[in-house]
Amino acid sequence: MPENFDFLVLGSGGAGLSYALRVAKYGSVAIVTKKDSAESNTNYAQGGLASVVDKEDRFEDHIEDTLIAGAGLCRPEVVEMVVRSGPDVIRELLDWGARFSNVDGTLDLGREGGHSRKRIVHAADRTGKEIERALLSALDKHPNITVMEHHFALELITEHHLGQKVTRHSTDTHCYGAYIFDIRSGKVETIRARATLIATGGVGQVYQHTTNPTIATGDGIAMAYRAKAHIANMEFMQFHPTSLNIPEANSFLISEAVRGKGGILRTRDGRTFMGDYDERAELAPRDIVARAIDEELKKTGEDSVYLDVTHIDRDVILEHFPTITETCRKFGVDVTKEWIPVVPAAHYLCGGVLTDIDGRTSISGLFCAGEASCTGLHGANRLASNSLLEAIVFSKRAAMASAEYIQGQSELPAIPDWDDSGTVNAEEAILLSHNQQELQKVMWDYVGIVRSNLRLERAFRRSHLLYEETEDYYQRTRVSVPLCELRNIIANAYLIIQCAMKRKESRGLHYTTDYPKPVTSEKHDTII
Q: What is the dihedral of CA 516, 522, 527, 528, to 10 degrees?
A: -60
pLDDT tens-digit series, residues 52-73: 999 999 999 999 999 999 999 9
Q: Measured in whole angstroms, how far is the alpha carbon of residue 371 from the centre of its chain? A: 4
Strand-pairing partners, residue 341, are 306
What percent of the chain clears pLDDT 90, i.e. is strictly above it? 75
Domain 240-345 has CATH 1.10.3720.10: no
Distances (CA, A) of 211 to 60, 224, 240, 329, 330: 31, 24, 8, 18, 18
Q: How far apart are CA 509 and CA 282, in angstroms?
A: 17
The residues annotated with a catalytic role in the active site are: 286
Mean pLDDT of 407-435: 84
What pLDDT, on a 0 to 100 scale, did the predictor assign at position 94?
92
Mean pLDDT of 511-526: 96
Residue 349 or residue 420, greater confidence = 349
Q: Give the contacts of 356 (CB within 8 A, at least 6 positions apart).
A: none
pLDDT > 80? residue 144: yes
pLDDT > 60? residue 40: no
Can you state the percent helix, strand and coil of the chain, rounding each to 5? 40, 20, 40
According to CATH, what is the number of the domain 430-522? 1.20.58.100
pLDDT band for 114, please (50, 70, 90 cuts): confident
Task: Give the mean pLDDT of the chain.
Answer: 92
How does strand 145-149 pair with strand 29-33?
A: parallel
Tell me the whole-structure pTM to 2 decimals.
0.90
What pLDDT, on a 0 to 100 scale, did the predictor assign at position 404?
96
What pLDDT, on a 0 to 100 scale, did the predictor assign at position 128?
80
> Hey, how many other C-beta atoms are within 10 angstroms of the C-beta on 331?
14
Q: Give the contacts of 5 (CB within 8 A, at least 6 positions apart).
A: 27, 28, 29, 30, 146, 177, 191, 192, 193, 194
Domain spans, the chain: 240-345, 430-522
What pLDDT, on a 0 to 100 scale, did the predictor assign at position 428?
66
pLDDT tens-digit series, residues 323-348: 999 999 999 999 999 999 999 999 99
pLDDT tens-digit series, residues 261-320: 999 999 999 999 999 999 999 988 888 899 999 889 888 889 899 999 999 999 999 998
How does strand 177-182 pair with strand 102-103?
A: unpaired
pLDDT tens-digit series, residues 128-139: 888 888 888 888
Strand-pairing partners, residue 223, are none
